[in-house]
A = this chain, B = another copy of it.
Amino acid sequence: MTEPTLGNNIVTQVGIIVRDIESKARAWSEILGLPMPNIIITDTVDKAQTEYNGKSTTARAKLAFFHMGQLDVELIEPIDGPSTWKDQLDGHGDSLHHIAFVINDMQEKVAYLDSKGVPLLQRGEYTGGRYAYLDGVAQLGTVLELLEND
């Protein structure tokens, strides 16, 4: 039996943690000649069911997406409670955070990565799907994000 992998090796998103999403989004738009995106805010914990390090968290984030060919560049400004977003901002300042893949069977893929030393870091729901961040730093040098759309 072939071991499962993610079933998809197309990087669909690169995430960047920023302290001030409004100024960063304006700079991306101006410097790279891209349309200024709307800035959205993730759902509150009752809807998003956000968990960080296995515990419920009130963490939210402001998000802005730039469509750049195959992938989106996602700007992320952490707000409120504990999260991988806030920890990275506190520890490393404005910086690249993750690369993302769209997958099926979230539970299976998270279990597969955990078995490979890439444990679940944070997860949550959004309208139409869910995400999981996996701590791939020790094995792969980066956080991975999995996105499952219904």
A113–chain B nearest beta-carbon distance, Å:
7
Within 8 A of B (CB), among A93-125: 93-99, 113, 116, 118
Which residues of chain B are within 8 angstroms of A118 by Cβ–Cβ distance?
31
Cα A118 to Cα B6 in complex, Å, equals 36
Please tell me the size bucket of the interface on A: 35 or more
Q: Which of B24, B93, B95 contacts A96 (CB 8 A)?
A: B95
Looking at A5, A96, A113, which has the most chain B CB atoms within 10 Å of its CB? A96
Cα A94 to Cα B95 in complex, Å, equals 13
Given A6-B32, A9-B33 in contact, is the A18-B141 Cβ separation under 8 Å? yes
Given A68-B9, A71-B70, A141-B75 in contact, is the A30-B116 Cβ separation under 8 Å? yes
Q: Tell me if A142 and B70 are in contact (CB < 8 A).
A: no
Q: Which of B94, B98, B140 contacts A28 (CB 8 A)?
A: B140
Within 8 A of B (CB), among A27-85: 27-28, 30-34, 68-71, 73, 75
The 7 A-B pairs of least Cβ separation, nearest first, read A5-B33, A96-B96, A70-B70, A10-B69, A94-B141, A16-B141, A27-B139
Known contacts A14-B99, A70-B71, A71-B71; 7 further A-B pairs (Cβ under 8 A)? A5-B33, A9-B69, A11-B70, A73-B99, A92-B92, A94-B141, A95-B142
